[in-house]
Structure 1
Amino acid sequence: MTPHSSRLQVFAINSIAVDARSHWARAIFYLLAASVAVLAGCSALPDKPMRATQYDFGPGPLLAESVAPAPVPARLPALAIDDIGTPGGALDNQAVLYRLAYANAQQLRPYAQARWSMPPAQLVRQRLRERLSLRRPIFNAREGLALNRSQSAPLPLQLRLELEEFSHLFTAPEVSVGLIRLRATLVEVTPAGEKLLGQRSLVVQRPAPSADAAGGVRALTAATDAAIEELDQWLQQLPAR
């Protein structure tokens, strides 16, 4: 073997080694690239959607909170409460709504991650029954009519309500209130038809402790309780039939 052929042989062996290293380098590069792509794909997958927080008006007064038993109030005439109407339909769902009075007071906006446990009209009606039943028998409207007719007893007075506003109202970015507006109509059902006994509009607001859905819920709960208290006082002041 000549020196020239030996050099050629060495060069060929080195070339093969370089090609082998290049092949493995490319293989490792492609493997790493594939791994990065898989990881990137995993990170791009959508997260599990967050479940909206549900709110209601809370448990109401607790027996343990009473320092001394209150005197038993005089019983008032029975009352039948109809379903609460919601003109316009904006309150027919479970969204917690707010308004930005400083930007566009005419636009109702829902909180993305907050929901009522039931539509607001149902929550208000439930709270109303709890409060009024402390002083008088309370029926559902159709239930009261059927019960009293079957017993030949006087029909209970009919209370009809419309929930016109129920929102977290911002007058400034950090200043807000819970606002409720109710229209109440009390009628007596007689053989000759319905007799209007009184009508009242209630507008109540309470300050929100924070500028978020939780603060709005607390403010609306306080405003609802205050409106129900005002409604109860009005009902008691109406002349007896």
Structure 2
Amino acid sequence: MNQSFANHLPRRALLALAACAVLAGCASSKGPATNAIYDFGPAAAAAVAPAGRANLAAVVITDVTGNAAYDSERMFYRLNYADPLQARSYAHSRWNATPLQLLTQRFKTRVAQSGVKVLSTTDASTGVPLLRIDLDDFTHSFDSTASSYGEVAVRVSLFDKHTLVDQRTFRHKVGAQSADAPGGARALAQAADAVASEMIVWLASDPRTALTTRKQ
């Protein structure tokens, strides 16, 4: 970088340029980069504790919804210390499905592992409670060039015969073991599993009892 030009750059801009160089450096030094594809890995049954078993016999889980950025296989990250309003994407890393699809499958798997029968939206007419999940945050964020974390936040609404029973927001943050795409992917997968576990604990209280109480 030209020294006179660098002297006129704001400190935040210099930090951002340095971080981008760190994140992209390995690929440029080893010749043409190959794309790496990530998902959440296998859903081990042991991840759901017996104490978190849901009491609902069955539930319909709709596909997770969210903004357009989450409906893409691109892997995004943010440099909170430089410009937290800018979403950047890794050039040579991506998800094997969109975050919305990955979370939909993961949540269905985790709830089923807790002992609840998970049904499709075509079964909603049977009167089975319906769980709608909106994705509010799915971010690999950097506090510094060496420190980052994955954060997942969802807004979950439980309906019983088209009546809203309860709504909760679940948010979990996991520190990344490495400040790169692999570290971010692992952290986000762990955060998604933690959110699923918290959601199952909530379902274990059978929130429909709140609806019964209000009707009395």
> TM-score by structure 1 length?
0.67
Q: Which residue of 2 aligns with 1:58?
A: 41
Q: How many Å apart are 1:140 and its aligned residue?
A: 1.6
Moved >2 Å (runs of 4+): 48-51, 73-77
Rate the CA distance shift 1:162–1:62 in 2: closer, same or farther, 3 A.
closer
Q: In structure 1, the residue corresponding to 2:106 is in which secondary structure?
A: helix
Q: Give unmatched runs, 5+ long, in structure 1.
A: 1-47, 149-154
User: Match for 2:141 among 157, 160, 169?
Assistant: 169
Could you tell me how far apart the structure 2 residues matched to 1:54 and 1:104 are?
Answer: 26
Instruction: Select the structure with the greater relative contact order (CA < 8 A; seq sep ≥ 6).
Output: 2
Aligned length: 175
User: Match for 2:60 among 55, 80, 98?
Assistant: 80
Specify the code of the residue in structure 2 equivalent to 1:116: W
Could you tell me how far apart the structure 2 residues matched to 1:159 and 1:223 are?
Answer: 20
Identity %, equivalent residues = 34
Rate the CA distance shift 1:109–1:90 in 2: closer, same or farther, 3 A.
same
Could you tell me how far apart the structure 1 residues matched to 2:38 and 2:136 are?
Answer: 20
Contact 2:54 2:203 in 1 (8 A): no
State the superposition RMSD in angstroms: 2.2
Could you tell me how far apart the structure 1 residues matched to 2:128 and 2:45 are?
Answer: 29
Could you tell me how far apart the structure 2 residues matched to 1:144 and 1:169 are?
Answer: 38
Matched, 1:101 2:93: no
> TM-score by structure 2 length?
0.75
Q: How many Å apart are 1:107 and its aligned residue?
A: 1.1
Matched, 1:140 2:108: no
Q: In structure 2, the residue corresponding to 1:102 is in which secondary structure?
A: coil
Larger Cα Rg: Structure 1 or Structure 2? 1
Q: Which residue of 1 aligns with 2:23?
A: none
Contact 2:54 2:204 in 1 (8 A): no
